[in-house]
Chains A and B, each alone.
Chain A
């Protein structure tokens, strides 16, 4: 045996970091941190199964499979490929991957909080509840057209070479300042056309102020709409109430039906906030899709300190995971026959798992997205608008504060969230929402440890669904490729 072969055969192999899951009677590996997913079968699976029991030298692996009648070349190639794909890892030193500092992050989207006022008084709202972090004293209640246009100019300037831009209108209740929204859409459309770029708009609203004229405008400008609604009348009206305590359902239901009927140029989704008192996922989903006619429904728990009455405790969150699972498997059944299902929590996660994301940051906040307050202050995202945390400049006075943004990104990178370093779900989760962390732990850089189990449970479920689809109807996954 040559010296080289001798060294090779004494190399020790062990399984690399991965999450194992089963679906469609097959076994899969979700590799961490690359986010690559492989279905395991044949000799490859047998080698991994063997090495999983205990670390083995290459010569031991080769010997074991030779004795079972496998060909030497086949064994060698398979071991090499498993090592190159980082399914197996050996003690041999590998050149360290270069750390590429994130130096250029062209802006893609601004969220304009066109007003900090709202005609509803939803109990859980992070802008008005005791967990509120915005300090609006001295700030105007409504954004002026001048500030909004400066924000659009900032987006254009900071977008560098990006072709497609996006403006989201947010509040308070956005439609309380519809005039500025309308003039901003017209201004931005004109400016972007001059530059040969593209722009899209979206809007989040409680739907109370929708009128036929507004619906026409939204449809004409292809504005994507997210409607905040918590289900049928009984569920919605527990939290989503006017200032005098009346529920909002009877006001919004006819307006939403009109919106869904006449606005067909962009997606219209429902966004449900789950609380301790509103958590019947299936009932909410059925109502919003079959009764009201939404194509897509997304659910998210209210961000709240643990001592709030409406905070969802761990027990309740576990129940929610169970009902999410029921609805998610329904999604899977639809997918297997090529039908689209409207449970967007699944489609959003499948999209990320299918592309194999490995995130440095949990979301686009501070990277491709920034929030803008009524006075023109730039912040990390819409949730931090007008708060002392996450300030990143002013649309008129110098635009984006690159130093503040750079410092934020340096200290909030997944590499700095030590709690996450042993978790298999970190490629998709990356520590979770900065705002959620700030409300729970008082600092944006904390990992959201209160929902780790939940996130792992959810991602495991979605991996199983992905595995199931990949075996039984792989062409369905092509819709996530773009």
Chain B
């Protein structure tokens, strides 16, 4: 909430823009509409990290996007979470080249050093 008192629709839009501009990343803070009280998990996103890898909120990989790599790409393409993955556009375009099937080849995903 801002300190402004919008009266009409245009003013409410202005307020929304201000709140959005100064806002925090909300993806994992947002509450689920479907089951209030539980955390809302965006599609293709997990909260838990096993060493070097992600699992879904049931503890397995079945609920992750297909293939599992897509989940990684969505982290930075969709969610703006660049720290989790190498820069796939400019500096490390081939970091997943040896990983044709993430379920089997996940050990072959390259480690990238900046």
* Number of chain B residues whose Cβ lies closer than 8 Å to a Cβ of chain A: 17
**Are A470 and B10 within 8 A (Cβ)?**
no
Q: Is A356 an interface residue (CB 8 A)?
A: yes
**Are A36 and B3 within 8 A (Cβ)?**
no
**Are A466 and B7 within 8 A (Cβ)?**
yes
**Are B4 and A81 within 8 A (Cβ)?**
yes
Q: Which of B3, B8, B17, B18 contacts A356 (CB 8 A)?
A: B8
Closest Cβ of chain B to A344, distance in Å, is: 19
Contact with A along B1-20 (1 / 0, CB 8 A): 01111111111011101100
Report if A39-B7 is in contact (Cβ < 8 Å); known contacts: A34-B14, A85-B15: yes
Q: Is B25 an interface residue (CB 8 A)?
A: no
A-B contact count (CB 8 A): 67
Contact with B along A24-48 (1 / 0, CB 8 A): 0000100100111111111110000
**Are B3 and A38 within 8 A (Cβ)?**
no
Bound form: Cα–Cα A86–B4 in Å: 12
Q: Which of A36, A466, A477 contacts B10 (CB 8 A)?
A: A36
**Are A39 and B5 within 8 A (Cβ)?**
yes
Bound form: Cα–Cα A35–B4 in Å: 15
Closest Cβ of chain A to B15, distance in Å, is: 7
Bound form: Cα–Cα A353–B10 in Å: 9
Q: Is A244 an interface residue (CB 8 A)?
A: no
Q: Is A84 an interface residue (CB 8 A)?
A: yes
Q: Is B83 an interface residue (CB 8 A)?
A: no
**Are B10 and A35 within 8 A (Cβ)?**
yes
Q: Is A78 an interface residue (CB 8 A)?
A: yes
Bound form: Cα–Cα A355–B5 in Å: 15
Within 8 A of B (CB), among A74-107: 77-78, 80-82, 84-87
Q: Is B43 an interface residue (CB 8 A)?
A: no
**Are A37 and B15 within 8 A (Cβ)?**
no
Report if A78-B3 is in contact (Cβ < 8 Å); known contacts: A84-B18, A85-B15, A85-B18: yes
Residue numbers in B under 8 Å from A87 (CB-CB): 4
Q: Is A467 an interface residue (CB 8 A)?
A: yes
Residue numbers in A under 8 Å from B14 (CB-CB): 34, 36, 85-86
Q: Which residue of B lies closest to A467 (CB)?
A: B7
Contact with A along B21-35 (1 / 0, CB 8 A): 110000000000000
**Are A43 and B3 within 8 A (Cβ)?**
yes
Residue numbers in A under 8 Å from B13 (CB-CB): 36, 356
**Are B7 and A81 within 8 A (Cβ)?**
no
Report if A84-B10 is in contact (Cβ < 8 Å); known contacts: A39-B5, A44-B4: no
Residue numbers in A under 8 Å from B3 (CB-CB): 42-44, 77-78, 81
**Are B6 and A36 within 8 A (Cβ)?**
yes
Residue numbers in B under 8 Å from A44 (CB-CB): 3-4
Bound form: Cα–Cα A283–B36 in Å: 57
Closest Cβ of chain A to B11, distance in Å, is: 4
Q: Is A354 an interface residue (CB 8 A)?
A: yes
Report if A28-B7 is in contact (Cβ < 8 Å); known contacts: A81-B2, A84-B21: yes
Closest Cβ of chain A to B1, distance in Å, is: 11
Bound form: Cα–Cα A86–B6 in Å: 13
Residue numbers in B under 8 Å from A357 (CB-CB): 10
Closest Cβ of chain A to B114, distance in Å, is: 28
Residue numbers in A under 8 Å from B5 (CB-CB): 38-41
Closest Cβ of chain B to A333, distance in Å, is: 20
Q: Which residue of B lies closest to A77 (CB)?
A: B3
Q: Is A481 an interface residue (CB 8 A)?
A: yes
Report if A37-B10 is in contact (Cβ < 8 Å); known contacts: A44-B3, A81-B3: yes
Bound form: Cα–Cα A30–B6 in Å: 10
Contact with B along A196-238 (1 / 0, CB 8 A): 0000000000000000000000000000000000000000000
Within 8 A of B (CB), among A290-347: none
Bound form: Cα–Cα A354–B8 in Å: 5
Residue numbers in B under 8 Å from A43 (CB-CB): 3
Bound form: Cα–Cα A34–B17 in Å: 13
Bound form: Cα–Cα A466–B6 in Å: 12
Closest Cβ of chain B to A31, distance in Å, is: 8
Bound form: Cα–Cα A358–B14 in Å: 14
Residue numbers in B under 8 Å from A39 (CB-CB): 5, 7
A-B contact pairs, 15 of them (CB 8 A): A28-B7, A34-B10, A35-B8, A36-B10, A37-B10, A77-B3, A81-B2, A84-B18, A354-B8, A355-B10, A356-B11, A356-B13, A466-B7, A466-B8, A481-B9
A38-B6, A356-B9 known; 4 other A-B pairs, CB under 8 Å?
Answer: A37-B11, A77-B3, A85-B14, A355-B9
